[in-house]
């Protein structure tokens, strides 16, 4: 009977958070548009494998494995839903793995609460519905974190090899997941493990570093991909805390439960087991702190790069909730309001702890110890549901078009309506071409004046353009040209760094004037016509 109940718990504890996260991830998955990062995934993943390899070696190695994976995902049915579905499954898998980790390191209901709390966090929901690698990275990191206690406690080459393989997979999906190794080293240090454990972990970590070395070297030459990042300040750190712990008053609740878990840790399940706090706390702190510190010299930090660290927060909060239940039941028992046997069961007392003989007094708790545990687990799940309701407006906003920086579908529809077949078009800056690459059917009849070599053939994200002299020659033959102006080019006195963009801007100022403008968000589709009489200074293409 006990073995059957244990088997049911082993299945239910991860399955319930998985189902909840899956439902939340599928809710409103099709927003009807992609934004710039998703557009990059969509157009790169639809290239051939040799073309993807060419891109990886020249521009975007850090996302190479993800692009290859998405190539096979999008091959049978290229759509925005298919683009985001792996992230939904990755987030659901992470919720299940967080639950399994909590059950392994503490008790089944701690795992259940932690998995559910992870699933209802808006920051998780945001990247569960985004066609990028971060949810999959978090899933691989959560699996490596679950494998660490098994390898550390039981040893064995196979267990350490499995840990190394999963950790390497996480880092290959995104290089900054390598910081997970530092968190796990801190876990072993806090747990005071034996030397044999350190030897096993060092071998596994060394293997991961060897696998990642070519990617690290390659990505160093592609640092321009993160050149837009700024040095993070205290505001950025505060925003990360809010993203991890939840908005409004939930921050206080989460931090209070976390403090309780750290100050009054749960009794260990058995000698030699890694403590939950020793696993979860370094996971939460070490990767973000290291990345924030390094970014003071070389800006590399962005909150999504450490999404995988969030898994430690619900584990600590759930452990704090369990300690609160444990202490509350103990106080009630001391006051004579609960029977000792049922109280011990309700508090989740492990078999290793001594239990005093129950006194012959009437029970004031449900008669079945199993029912006591189930009721307590259900109360915790209801508390998580209340937290979700408290954040419902945030979840609803994440499913709106305005939750992302761009609405490429709206821009593409505007271009499709405004431009006639074969009309010339300029993209200013050149990377504004990503709209056309994401929605090629809307631009298939347009003539790209500046494009020298297409993106896939050139091994770049957005293609290569003619130099300034050739651009001037090509524009000299035109009496009208459509210009798609996006991002920073629509704001302020923008001065481009790229020579091709400087040439476009100069010719438009000197020889053209704007006749027609269509605005979509912060993007403009403007019709420029040649000035008559003689060319003179004209309005900037981003003005108005």
Q: pLDDT digits over 6-26, tens only? A: 666 778 899 999 999 999 999
What average pLDDT does range 431-438 have in this prediction?
91
Q: pLDDT digits over 341-360, tens only? A: 544 444 444 434 444 555 54
Q: Are 130 and 87 in contact (CB under 8 A)?
A: yes
Q: pLDDT digits over 492-537, tens only? A: 567 788 889 989 989 998 999 999 998 887 788 999 999 874 444 4
CA distance 393 to 244: 17
CA distance 50 to 228: 28
350 to each of 108, 195, 267, 326, 327, how far by Cα in Å? 12, 28, 8, 12, 15
Instruction: Give the burial class of 398: count Cβ atoms within 10 A of its Cβ; 0-12 exposed, 13-18 middle, 19 or more buried.
Output: buried
Give this prediction's pTM. Answer: 0.88
Q: pLDDT digits over 174-227, tens only? A: 999 999 999 999 999 999 999 999 999 999 999 999 999 999 888 887 766 777
What average pLDDT does range 64-87 have in this prediction?
95
Q: Which residues are registered as beta bridge partners of 204?
A: none
Lookup: tokens for 88: 């939904």
Q: How far is CA 299 from the centre of its chain?
A: 19
Lookup: tokens for 312: 């430690």
Q: In b/e form, how buried is each residue of 174-213, taking b as 16+ CB within 10 angstroms? A: bbbbbbbbebbbbbbeebebeeebeebbeebbebbeebbe
Phi then psi for 205, rounded to 5 degrees?
Answer: -65, -40
């Amino acid at each position: 009977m006990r073995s059957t109940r244990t088997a049911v718990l082993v299945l239910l504890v991860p399955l319930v958070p998985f189902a909840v996260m899956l439902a939340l991830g599928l809710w409103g998955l099709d927003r009807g548009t992609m934004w710039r990062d998703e557009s990059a995934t969509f157009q790169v993943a639809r290239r051939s494998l040799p073309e993807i390899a060419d891109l990886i070696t020249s521009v975007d190695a850090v996302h190479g494995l993800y692009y290859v994976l998405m190539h096979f995902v999008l091959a049978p049915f290229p759509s925005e839903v298919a683009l985001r579905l792996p992230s939904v499954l990755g987030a659901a898998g992470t919720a299940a793995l967080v639950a399994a980790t909590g059950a392994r390191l503490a008790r089944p209901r701690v795992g259940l609460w932690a998995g559910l709390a992870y699933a209802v966090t808006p920051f998780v929901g945001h990247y569960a519905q985004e066609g990028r690698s971060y949810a999959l990275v978090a899933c691989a990191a959560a699996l490596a974190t679950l494998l660490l206690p098994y390898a550390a406690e039981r040893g064995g080459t196979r267990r350490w090899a499995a840990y190394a393989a999963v950790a390497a997979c996480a880092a290959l999906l995104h290089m900054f997941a390598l910081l997970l190794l530092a968190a796990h080293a801190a876990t072993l240090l806090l747990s005071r493990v034996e030397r044999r454990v350190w030897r096993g972990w060092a071998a596994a970590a060394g293997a991961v570093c060897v696998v990642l070395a070519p990617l690290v070297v390659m990505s160093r030459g592609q640092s321009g991909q993160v050149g837009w990042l700024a040095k993070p300040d205290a505001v950025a750190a505060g925003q990360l805390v809010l993203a991890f712990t939840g908005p409004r008053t939930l921050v206080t609740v989460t931090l209070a439960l976390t403090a309780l878990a750290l100050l009054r840790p749960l009794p260990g399940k058995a000698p030699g087991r890694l403590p939950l706090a020793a696993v979860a706390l370094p996971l939460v702190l070490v990767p973000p702190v290291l990345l924030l510190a390094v970014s003071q010299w070389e800006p590399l930090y962005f909150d999504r790069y450490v999404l995988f660290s969030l898994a430690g927060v619900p584990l600590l909060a759930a452990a704090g909730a369990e300690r609160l239940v444990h202490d509350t039941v103990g106080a009630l028992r001391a006051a004579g309001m609960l029977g000792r046997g049922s109280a011990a069961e309700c508090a989740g007392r492990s078999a290793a702890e001594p239990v005093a003989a129950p006194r012959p007094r009437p029970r004031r708790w449900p008669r079945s110890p199993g029912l006591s545990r189930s009721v307590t687990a259900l109360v915790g799940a209801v508390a998580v549901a209340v937290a979700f309701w408290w954040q419902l407006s945030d979840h609803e906003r994440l499913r709106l078009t305005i939750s992302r920086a761009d609405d490429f579908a709206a821009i593409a529809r505007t271009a499709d309506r405004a431009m006639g077949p074969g009309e010339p078009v300029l993209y200013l800056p050149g990377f504004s071409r990503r709209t056309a690459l994401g929605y090629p059917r809307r631009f298939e009849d347009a003539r790209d004046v500046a494009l020298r070599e297409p993106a896939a053939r050139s091994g770049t994200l957005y293609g290569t353009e003619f130099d300034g002299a050739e651009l001037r020659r090509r524009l000299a033959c035109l009496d009208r040209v459509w210009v798609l102006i996006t991002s920073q080019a629509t704001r302020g006195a923008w001065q481009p760094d790229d020579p091709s963009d400087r040439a476009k801007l100069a010719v438009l100022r000197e020889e053209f004037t704007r006749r027609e403008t269509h605005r979509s968000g912060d993007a403009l589709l403007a019709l420029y016509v040649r000035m008559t009489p003689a060319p003179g200074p004209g309005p900037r293409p981003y003005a108005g």
